[in-house]
Amino acid sequence: MSKKRSSTTRKRSSASPRAKRILGLLTTVVVALFGAYYLLKGSTPLEVLTQIGWLPTSGPPPALAAAPATDTVLATAPAGAPSDTWWEVYFTDPHSHGSPDQPAGSIEEKLIQRIQQAQRSIHIAAFEFNLTPVAEALSAAQARGVEVQWVTDDEHGLEADGDEGHGQFALLKKAGIEVKDDGRSALMHNKFLIFDDEIVWTGATNITVNGIFANNNNVIVISSPAVAQIYEREFDEMWGGQFGSTSPSTVGQQTATVNGVSVQVLFAAEDDVISRLVPLIEGAQKSIRFMAFSFTHDDLGQAVLARAQAGVEVQGIFETRGSETKESEMRALYCANIPVRQDTNPTAFHHKVFVVDDALVITGSFNFSDNADTSNDENVVIVTEAGIAAEYLKEFEQRWAESVDPQAGDMNC
């Protein structure tokens, strides 16, 4: 074939200018006729070029293969600047960031940046709080006219703040920021912030020294007024004193489409979260990966076990403390020869994450337990986006490498 092309080239180079013009005209007419024929048959322009031999018959044409990708660019912590895309995912890095006094690259720094950028409102539902730089940033926001409001847990929030004037909530109150608690035995366990009715910050990360600088944790940030509205409605209910199962469910209004991606939000206890997560696990076709601070709910555990027995690849990491109790799902999975491990973080492995089929991500404040499902105030985000899933899977692989297999003698299979 190369010899024929070489011969043709030499022959054309010796042709007269008139012959070149005639040959060019004939080529144009032939290509146009063939192109019209194939287009009338329903072929695309690329298919026409392929069928008349101008492009290879398999694989993308070279020009298209070299085109820049159009997937969403992700900004992840601890490295990277804030992104202008609709989502970001951050993970704590206990190995690299050990102090709120040196927050560069940490989730604390990302949070303070968000606070400083707020123009109208910051509404917070967060379980506990002890980061003074964040309190100072919120106080400054309040001083420049941003409405700052905080709903917290009574025991782990306001009551843990210490004597009046000495804790971070006290700093907020001095700045004129109103703080309310749930005033009940169950937990107000959310960790979400809403900025300017447009951006939602949520995940497993408490706004504390341990939460950001010692525990394994995650944050997902979604820029969407529609998603923000869902969280604002829940915030308003708690601000008005409705907590737990007494809070009305609006689950039929808790799905939004962001850049073509469906984002569903669930709130405990009113939305019967476990009953909505089980079908997602039962729908797994290829793989299930989970990272769990607490995984004690039998229905969810049985769903994972059933998919593993059906041939779905399952791997899971448990927070070590509590994982060997009779309530934990680890023993049932381990004794069924499903790969599960225990974390080695000396403080806490605090994730509450499932990744299904390398695409669907379940994350939030919700531990996989009966208390989370029936008593606490919690939130869950469910999103099917390959880029988000890839980042959570990267975190899973890093934590899996640090984790250890349970001791067989402790499992009593």
Instruction: List, by residue number, the catalytic residues.
Output: 350, 352, 357
Q: C-alpha distances in angstroms, 153 versus 42, 112, 190, 244?
A: 63, 22, 9, 12
Tell me if 355 sits within 8 A of 379, measured CB to CB: no
Helical H segments across 244-377, by residue range? 273-282, 298-309, 330-335, 370-374
Q: Cis omega before residue 303 (within 30°)?
A: no
Contacts of 338 (CB under 8 A, 6+ apart): 304, 305, 308, 314, 315, 316
The tokens for 322 are: 């509590």
The tokens for 277 are: 């997560």
Taking the C-alpha atoms of residue 99 and residue 214, their distance in angstroms, rounded to an integer, is 9
The tokens for 358 are: 């390398």
Tell me if 218 sits within 8 A of 93, measured CB to CB: no
The phi, psi pair for 322, rounded to 5°, reads 90, -10
Comparing C-alpha atoms, which of 314, 325, 310 is closest to residue 369? 325
Taking the C-alpha atoms of residue 124 and residue 188, their distance in angstroms, rounded to an integer, is 12
Comparing C-alpha atoms, which of 411, 271, 306, 295 is closest to residue 354? 295
Residue 219 pairs in a beta bridge with 90, 203
